Amino acid sequence: MGPWTRSPVACRIRDEDEPRGVVRVGASIPVVVVAGFLGAGKTTLVNHVLRSAGELRVGVLVNDFGAINIDAFLVAGQVDNMMTLTNGCICCEVDTDDIEESLASLAGIAPRLDMILVEASGVAEPGALVQVVRATGDERFHCSSVIVVIDAAEHARVELDRHASVADLVLLNKADQLASEARDELVARIGAAARGAPVIPTVRGALDLDLLVDASSRVERRAGRLDRPVQLTLDALLREECDEAEEPHDHAHAHQVESVAWTSSVPVHPRAFMDLLEQRPAGVYRVKGLLDLGGFGDGACYVLQVVGRSIEIERRSWPAGAPPRTELVLIGHGMDQVALRAGLEACVAAAPGPGEEHAMLRVLRFVDDDEACGP
């Protein structure tokens, strides 16, 4: 008996005339796994869902690969019901008990949540992750569907077929980065691998929530005729995939991808840091975190996002009660960690020196913020 046949909700096969993968959910809370490679746009999607959830009560479990959970910071503020799993990939390194405990805490929240989103680390194997969530055996929730986010700009780095084949819904995110012809070609290619799951191009994870939660149920729910929302569920194909995944996966990614966490309570010099970032050492693919640029940056918090060649910086306020502090996670393959740390240490600077009034310009080039002020 496969793992998906244990739960009467999860194993329900849709009627012929029912849209693909849509079921009415019973007493158990649907868990939607959001997977996808590093920097594809998972956190952006989760934040979009939270912002457009309306009457739905959504809980979030965030798993970050690095030792510092930057994603939790980026999701926090959007949602009250959030748990985090740090320092390890959820599908192989985080203890299953921790996952069960986190999901159980979310499932115990009153009034009851309508949905739990699990944002996987960017190195998680979607199929293995589903297996882990399913293995918890708690009847109060069930793994209902998998959304795989693919980065249109960096899709060549991903094994598209393997990722798409376990998805109920594939988002080809960062569609703004491709010309329409190339985008259509990619959608068709992924569609063939996705074995019938819809492939939707999105920009900044702007998924129409009706694709996640059936529109009619939302109307009925608003009208008070339906207790629970209607959810996408895993389809029989995924069930087959999970049967196969019962064999332990080789966790190859855990050996191929490494992360470096670096923190500093002394501000970072913007010019030195941008030098390092723009000529980043070989192997660094993803960088995310918070930058304290001290007096150079007017004491603001700079949220840094690097994915492949793309660099984005957003200026925010520091969270209440949190002292300014640089916290970075650098993720990649074959990185010279010692040289990387040494390079970062060389960036710290207590205060702007004479003639350094333009040092922030290098940072501000990447800040997409009308309010960003000059040096």
Residues that bind ligand GTP in the complex, under the rule CB under 6 A: 36, 38-44, 71, 122, 173-174, 176-177, 203-205, 286, 288, 305, 307, 312
Shorter beta-carbon distance to ligand GTP: residue 287 or 360:
287
Q: Please, what sign has the CA dihedral across residues 288, 293, 297, 300?
A: positive
**Which residues sit opposite 23 in a β-bridge?**
231
Q: Answer whether 228's CB lies under 8 Å from 26's CB.
A: yes
Shorter beta-carbon distance to ligand GTP: residue 44 or 231:
44
CB of 62 to ligand GTP, least distance (A): 9
CB of 15 to ligand GTP, least distance (A): 34
Give, in degrees to the nearest 5, the angle at Cα 42 between 184 and 314: 105
Give CA 361 to chain center in angstroms: 30
Shorter beta-carbon distance to ligand GTP: residue 9 or 133:
133
Contacts of 33 (CB under 8 A, 6+ apart): 118, 120, 126, 129, 130, 133, 143, 145, 146, 147
- For residue 238, the 8-state DSSP code is H
Shorter beta-carbon distance to ligand GTP: residue 71 or 292:
71
CB of 122 to ligand GTP, least distance (A): 3
CB of 77 to ligand GTP, least distance (A): 15
Shorter beta-carbon distance to ligand GTP: residue 195 or 204:
204
CB of 172 to ligand GTP, least distance (A): 9
- For residue 247, the 8-state DSSP code is S
CB of 174 to ligand GTP, least distance (A): 4
Q: DSSP 3-state assignment of 315? A: strand
Shorter beta-carbon distance to ligand GTP: residue 71 or 214:
71
Shorter beta-carbon distance to ligand GTP: residue 225 or 309:
309
Number of neighbouring beta carbons within 10 Å of residue 354: 5
Selection from 43, 55, 191 nearest residue 111 by Cα: 55
Q: Answer whether 64's CB lies under 8 Å from 172's CB.
A: no
**274/339 Cα distance (integer angstroms):** 16
Cα separation values, 303 from 57, 90, 311, 317, Å: 27, 24, 11, 10
Task: Give the nearest residue (CB) to ligand GTP.
Answer: 122
Phi-psi region of 270 (alpha: psi -120 to 50; beta: other; left: phi over 0): alpha
Shorter beta-carbon distance to ligand GTP: residue 10 or 153:
153
Number of neighbouring beta carbons within 10 Å of residue 98: 15
